[in-house]
Amino acid sequence: MAGSFKDIDYRVRPAKSIERKMLAESFRRLVYFQNPAKYTYVGMGSLYFSDFNLFHRSLGFETMVSIEDCFDPTIQDRFRMNVPYGHIRLEFGRAGAVLQKMADWKQCPAIIWLDYDGKLSEECLHDLEYVASNAASGTVLIISVNADRLKLIDSIGDDGNEIDEASLTPLQILERNIDKSRVPLGVQNKELSGWGVAAAYREVIDAAIRKGTTLHPSGNFGYEQTYNFTYSDGARMLTVGGVLFSENEREHFVSAAFDNMEFVRRDKTDYRIDPPKLTYAEMRAINLHRPDLPIPPSDVEKFKKTYRYFPHFIEAEVG
């Protein structure tokens, strides 16, 4: 989680870029709860602040907070240097600790994107529960995690010795990474491979958010999933989330009609973002509905699904 900015240039992950734009589009529907511009945005901007840039420009968020798990004063300065807008507040610390310090999101609706990048840990789930049990009605809670092959988060056993990871089954690894009681009943080792890891994670995440809502002081808090994105930008990634609201405001959620959006997923079926690798000439040709293109039809179909959100990268020297 911490320091992943060193390995990944977030701007050029096409699937992630598509995901961001889809999320931005869906946030407009929040107008049924409140003017989206008045939402507080809490994210993990890394050094690139791509989400902050996009959401501020397209939705006009005024209160924006970026959480960075970083204590090194020099690296903290580097984050400060890269903040694109003066109104973006930086908070350094573990997500849970930072969320506790902040009052904004507990008092008025917020979009909270816990974009961990790392593996799903007990701490991530704790953060989800914390948000779900303290959020204001109309809050969007989203989590992104790496859903690649299961690996131990902490490879040191209780006796202080290193655990031989190869000797553990995927299920045993999952039971070490998160509390055993959270592991979905009946899940088997053979299911915990490939995209099965993401499917199991979604179930665990869903249960944690729902548990959080039962602890909300209002005693009347609901959650509806709207996002279940999967994609592979080198690593398999999962983004799950939805809207938290007071049951008295359920009609707002219904009016927002998230289901009308093609990429919205209300259940365990994921929306796979799978951008084809195409040249600009090819993309133009598809956009112009040219027939008989010498491009694999499956790529044409994939592009048609996402062309509105498709990123265009250009190498340019600036300044």
Partner 1 sequence: MSVPTINASPTKEFFISIITKDISLLDAIKDLMDNCVDGARSLRGDGRYQGLFAHIEVKPDSFIIVDNCGGISVDTAINYAFRFGRARGAPSVEGSIGQFGVGMKRALFKMGKKFEVKSVAADSRFVLKVDVDEWTALMDENGREKWEFEFTEVAESENNPIDIRSTTLEVTDLYPSVAAEFGTAFFVQQLVASLQHAHAHSLNLGLDIKVNNFELRHNVATLLQSDKIKSIKLEKTYPQEDDGIRSIVKLTIYAGLSDSNLKEAGWYIICNGRQVLGADKTPLTGWESKLEENQSTPAAHGQFSRFRGYAVFESDNAKALPWNTSKSGVDAESKLYQAARMEMVNALRQVIDFLNELDAERDSESTVLKECINEALPVPLSSVAVSARFIAPSRAATTIQRPTNVRVQFTQALDDVEFAKNYFEVTSATKAGEAVFDYFLDREREN
Nearer to partner 1, 219 or 296 (CB): 219
**In whole angstroms, what is the distance from residue 79 CA to residue 83 CA?**
7
* Chain positions contacting partner 1, by CB under 8 A: 71, 73-74, 76-77, 92-94, 96-97, 99-103, 122-123, 126, 129-130, 133, 154, 156, 158, 160, 214-215, 217, 219
Rounded CA-CA distance 52/45 in Å is 7
Q: Is 180 or 312 the residue whose CB approaches partner 1 more closely?
A: 180
**Which of residues 86 and 217 has its CB atom nearest to partner 1 in the complex?**
217
The nearest distance, CB 122 to partner 1, in angstroms, is: 8
- Total Cβ atoms within 10 A of residue 6: 9
Q: How far is the CB of 53 from partner 1 (least distance, A)?
A: 26
Nearer to partner 1, 71 or 280 (CB): 71
Cα(148)–Cα(119) distance, integer angstroms: 8
The helix or strand, by DSSP H or E, that contains position 58, with its residue range, turns out to be helix 50-59
Unique residue bearing structure tokens 């994609």 = 231
3-state secondary structure of 35: coil
- Shortest Å distance, C-beta 157 to partner 1: 10
Residue identified by tokens 């501020």 is: 56
Closest approach of Cβ 204 to partner 1, in Å? 17
Closest separation between CB of residue 99 and partner 1, Å? 7
Nearer to partner 1 by C-beta: 74 or 167? 74
Q: What angle do CA 66, 215, 152 make, to 5 degrees?
A: 60
